Structure 1
Amino acid sequence: MEINSITDAPVSENDRIKLIDALRGIALLGILLMNIPGFSMPNYSSEVYKNDPSNINFWVSNVIGVLFEGKMRAMFSMIFGAGVLLFIGKKVKNGLSTHGLFYRRMFWLLLFGLIHAHLVLWIGDILYLYAVCGMIVYLFRNVNPKYLVLAIPLVAIVDFGLGTYFYQGIREKRLDYVEAKKAQDENKTLTAEQSKALVTWREVEKSMIPNREDAKENTKKMKSDYSTVASYLRPMAFDGQTKYLFFGIWDSIALMLLGFALYKWGFLTGNWSNDNYRKVMLLGYGIGLPLVIYSSYHYFVTYSTLEANLKRMETVSIDWVNLIYPFQRILLVMAHTATIILLYKSKIIQGVFRRLEAVGQMAFTNYIMHSIICTLFFFGYGLNYYGVFEFYQIYYLAFAIWILQLILSPIWLRHFYFGPLEWVWRSLTYWKLQPFKRV
């Protein structure tokens, strides 16, 4: 059965852009590199190797940080933006209204994000965030691309400003705490403000910056039963989806708008000349790599331990090096994307790209599969390997998941039109059961 109806069905297989599927697949697998430490490593576990070049973990951490940190999620956000236009494109051409359909689609994605964060227990969930951002960027779908790309520098500045404002709020609490703690250590009678400062900083430790004893206790919680793990993680997930959401949406919105522009310009569909892709690649790596290497060196030297981090907070009100991050990230993700497109167009490793296309076509299912496998492998109610492995060793599991999904995704799609979660999402979006098994 072919899926052809433009009124009540998703994009047909013939209308899929395979290059975008491949980019989505690469971004998804790359995101796992950044997520897996969150599943497996206790607070401050990186301190033992952070400034030790003789340790293999130092180099694994730095290479992944330089090449992939933030870049894979940036690529995924760009592709999500392109996906918004792909979803509505053919319907709009045929004079159909997409508003209700699209917002229903985002509503279900938001609900899946809540389930992912609060039942599967992955606090790094992006489905909820993407649903909220998707509802916003949809309003800009008809804006000229040259204006859309302005979102990147504008949002970078806004994001830096909001981040600095948030940081300074925490810093003020820290300074008040230091003053109150000094008075307490000198056996002075504390004022009401000083007593409040001690309580306030304790709340910061519980929710964001655990002290050494908290860190040990957090590890014990992660190695416990489901209800204990859930009681620890759910409040953090809730805070991220509510009171801190305003601080976290701008980056994703800007990248989705960039995805709009790059799709409209033909960059993400491989329509540029090879020379132009090479120019993007050379410019991105030529400027982006020196920037990220410098900032990486700065952070590893400056924030080597919890104590060094807190000391710097007490003395530095604005860390201007943070401004480097959004720009090196965009330069490198553009270079990565151009490099992948050149490889794709060269047809050198077609077999690998066919598998990546399948992974990308099943991105929703594969993304949730990452969380299910990792939580059951690392958390206490599963195999309880949380805090057991060295940093480099956790990537053995990441690569095993890669291999598993690169093998299973094409096999699944030979028998079914969609991944299982993709099918559920589409059926809920169109409020009609979609064809599933191939005949």
Structure 2
Amino acid sequence: MDFDKRIDTLDYLRGFALMGIIFVNIIPMLSVPLPAPHTVNASYLRFLYLFVEGRFYTIFTFLFGVGFHVFITRADAKGRNGYVLFLRRIIALFIIGYVHVQFLPGEALTVYAVCGLLIIPFYKVKKSVNLVCGTAMLIVMGIFSFKLFMVLPLMLLGIAAGQFHVFEQLAKNRNQIVIFTSIMLVLSIIGLIYQYHYAPSVFGNVSDANFQETQRFLKIGMTVGPIVSAFYAGLMIWLLQFPLVQKLLSPLKSYGRMALTNYVSQTAIILFTGKVLHLFNNITYVQSLYLCLSLLGVQLIFSQVWLRFFRFGPLEWMWRIVTYFEIPPLRK
């Protein structure tokens, strides 16, 4: 196995997940007010809760677990202490997350860093145990709508995927990918229909009854979220088995390779734009969609151009320095 070769599918999936996260994060960042009922903005809000909210961070969290296993395995194979390197990596991630959370309350990096410490012992646990425990814990947390506590089981499933070498053997398992994606599609349709059935006509604290309706709708969304996420990931993986799709989505791969830089810069750009254009509490849900699409377009182009001349994204490069205690060449 070539331990220096990147697993491209992980970069594509990471970029795909990050693209979805921004559509949800921008709402609290710019204090977007709740829309009036029976409007286009209300329809878009409902769309977000059905197809975006809790769907993409799940993929991103799962990939963190995969990346954890790949990182330590490759470090050990090169004769380095993977645990020590990963610990430095986690500390650096926590520092970045701590700064970031000052501008985006509720952001995920600090949570990932803490959970990254908790999952270290599971690297040596049998893959079947990680798979069963991760699945069982995720089902329980999903049923009780404990969103924060879903991070750990998702990472465990990522570790299990790494232990089973899922992403190294995708080309050999196309039929299994199709079967898995088809099952997740059916379950997703059932789950989303069920969630939509309980969608409130008005979101917010208009009344106690309305508040209860909204909470029930959101809890159902958290329960079915991992299923929808699994369908999204399965569909992406299946599509990426075709070289033409890989070529068409190549900007997504670059975007995923610079996930940390793009994630943090999203916050900076959105807050700066909101300040300059006076968008705080003065923008609609649909307008936030347009802003996200514009930002994503810029970041996709920037990521692809940057990686033509440099080996790492800016933050990825600094992260690597702290991890390895050495300065790698940045330019290609």
TM-score normalised per structure 1: 0.69
Q: Contact 2:85/2:323 (CA < 8 Å) preserved in 1?
A: yes
| Structure 2 gap ranges (5+) | none
Instruction: From 338, 347, 352, give the equivalent of 2:243.
Output: 347
* 1:374 paired residue number: 270
After superposition, the C-alpha distances for 1:271-324 in whole angstroms (9 at most, x for unaligned) are: 4522221211221121122213322442425x73314347766xx9xx877764
2:23 is the alignment partner of 1:40: no
Runs of 4+ in 1 over 3 A off after TM superposition: 158-163, 266-269, 309-313, 319-327
Q: Contact 2:30/2:274 (CA < 8 Å) preserved in 1?
A: yes
Query: Aligned partners of 1:70, 1:272: CA distance in 2, in Å?
Result: 30
* 2:51 paired residue number: 67
**Change over 3 Å in CA distance of 1:268–1:64 after alignment to 2:** farther
**Letter matched to residue 426 of structure 1:** R
**Letter matched to residue 21 of structure 1:** D
Identity %: 25
**Structure 2 counterpart SS, 1:417:** coil
Q: Contact 1:66/1:293 (CA < 8 Å) preserved in 2?
A: no
Equivalence map 1:16-415=2 (5 Å): 16-42=6-32, 45-49=33-37, 52=38, 55-118=39-102, 121-150=103-132, 151-158=134-141, 163=146, 248=148, 250-269=149-168, 270-271=170-171, 273-301=173-201, 304-309=203-208, 324-379=220-275, 382-415=276-309
**Letter matched to residue 287 of structure 2:** Q
Query: Aligned partners of 1:103, 1:327: CA distance in 2, in Å?
Result: 32
Query: Aligned partners of 2:31, 2:62: CA distance in 1, in Å?
Result: 29
- Displacement of 1:23: 0.6
**Letter matched to residue 313 of structure 2:** G
**Change over 3 Å in CA distance of 1:289–1:97 after alignment to 2:** same
Q: Contact 1:160/1:322 (CA < 8 Å) preserved in 2?
A: no
- Displacement of 1:158: 4.7
Query: Aligned partners of 1:416, 1:107: CA distance in 2, in Å?
Result: 25
Query: Aligned partners of 1:333, 1:295: CA distance in 2, in Å?
Result: 15
Query: Aligned partners of 2:318, 2:218: CA distance in 1, in Å?
Result: 40
**Structure 2 counterpart SS, 1:436:** coil
**Change over 3 Å in CA distance of 1:39–1:391 after alignment to 2:** same
**Letter matched to residue 48 of structure 1:** A
**Letter matched to residue 352 of structure 1:** L
The number of aligned residues is 328
Q: Which has the larger radius of gyration?
A: 1
Query: Aligned partners of 1:278, 1:159: CA distance in 2, in Å?
Result: 25
Query: Aligned partners of 2:248, 2:221: CA distance in 1, in Å?
Result: 31
- Displacement of 1:95: 4.7
**Structure 2 counterpart SS, 1:46:** coil
Q: Contact 1:365/1:419 (CA < 8 Å) preserved in 2?
A: yes
| Structure 1 gap ranges (5+) | 1-5, 164-246
After superposition, the C-alpha distances for 1:353-399 in whole angstroms (9 at most, x for unaligned) are: 221111111000000111011111124xx332112222111111111
Query: Aligned partners of 1:369, 1:386: CA distance in 2, in Å?
Result: 18
Instruction: From 423, 426, 436, give the equivalent of 2:317.
Output: 423
**Change over 3 Å in CA distance of 1:311–1:30 after alignment to 2:** closer
After superposition, the C-alpha distances for 1:145-193 in whole angstroms (9 at most, x for unaligned) are: 3222332332442565585xxxxxxxxxxxxxxxxxxxxxxxxxxxxxx
* 1:226 paired residue number: none
